[in-house]
Amino acid sequence: MQYDIRGGNFPVVICTLDKGEKMITEKGSMTWMTPNMQMETQGGGIGKMFSKAFSGESMFQNIYTAAGGPGMIAFGSSFPGKIIPIEVGPGKEWILQKSSFLASESGVNLDIFFNKKFGAGLFGGEGFIMQRLSGRGIAFAEIDGELIEYQLQAGQQMIIDTGYVAGFESSVSIDIQQVKGMKNKLLGGEGLFNTVLTGPGRIWLQTMPISGVAGAIQPYIVTAG
């Protein structure tokens, strides 16, 4: 598979496949394709489908195969930002926010990642249920706004508003901590909890999470009735 990412604020990734090669997506992100791309919708077993339903994700995958010869298929982003290629392999697993996964080669496994720490599970919201990419191949992730990358050393930490976490290598650990001080909690306007990422490993932050945009425009929405 070869790919080309094009576009500005609403990018697409155009994938060129050899005969028999497959691409997988979990949502309606296909934008255009050649006529020989065959689509098949599959589930992932009862247990896996249940975990996806619990997390709010689609229970099914759309598998596109280049039949009879080379094919082309494009996947588009659903929000202003970027499409980032991720090389997945042994020792190169990634954890993404649950809405980031766009598409991947068939060798990439997409699973639900539940944060097992008590604080994150109780208060984490967006950071509690995420996506794990494993296996081998190229995957594509959607980033809301711009992408900022940091390389954390062992034990080095970054405190982040949860919605700004786009993803991180599986070597990075995640937890949730309370904002300190009652006045800060009640008057600070920054929420009650932040995400704490601890190295070693790379972390990806996004500058315009859709949750933040929704919160910014909510006061201006007039409810009928």
Q: Is residue 92 part of a domain?
A: yes
Q: Is residue 128 part of a domain?
A: yes
Check whether 176 has a pLDDT greater than 50: yes
CA–CA–CA angle 97, 116, 53 (5° rounding): 55
Domain enclosing residue 130, as ranges = 2-218
DSSP-derived 3-state class of residue 64 = strand
| Domain of residue 160, CATH code | 3.60.160.10
Residue in 129, 103, 125 with CA at minimum distance from that of residue 116:
129
Q: Please compute Rg for the chain using Cα positions.
A: 19
Q: What is the band of 208 on the pLDDT scale with cuts at 50, 70, 90?
A: confident
Q: Is residue 223 part of a domain?
A: no
Q: Is residue 130 part of a domain?
A: yes
Report the pLDDT value the prediction gives residue 179, as an integer from 0 to 100.
Answer: 66
Q: Is residue 197 part of a domain?
A: yes
Q: Is residue 86 part of a domain?
A: yes
pLDDT tens profile 69-88 = 999 999 998 889 999 999 99
Q: Which two tokens stand for residue 117?
A: 């720490």
pLDDT tens profile 108-129 = 998 888 765 544 444 444 446 8
CB 124 within 8 A of CB 103: no
Report the pLDDT value the prediction gives residue 44, as an integer from 0 to 100.
Answer: 55
Q: Please give the tally of structural domains in the chain.
A: 1
Check whether 89 has a pLDDT greater than 90: yes
CA 186, CA 143: separation in Å to the nearest integer? 30
Helices (H), 56-117: none
Q: Is residue 224 part of a domain?
A: no
- The 10 Å CB-count burial string (b at 16+, else e) for 162-190 is bbbbbbbbebbbbbbeeeeeeeeeeeeee
Report the pLDDT value the prediction gives residue 162, as an integer from 0 to 100.
Answer: 80
pLDDT tens profile 26-69 = 878 899 999 999 999 986 544 454 455 544 455 678 999 999 99
Q: Is residue 225 part of a domain?
A: no
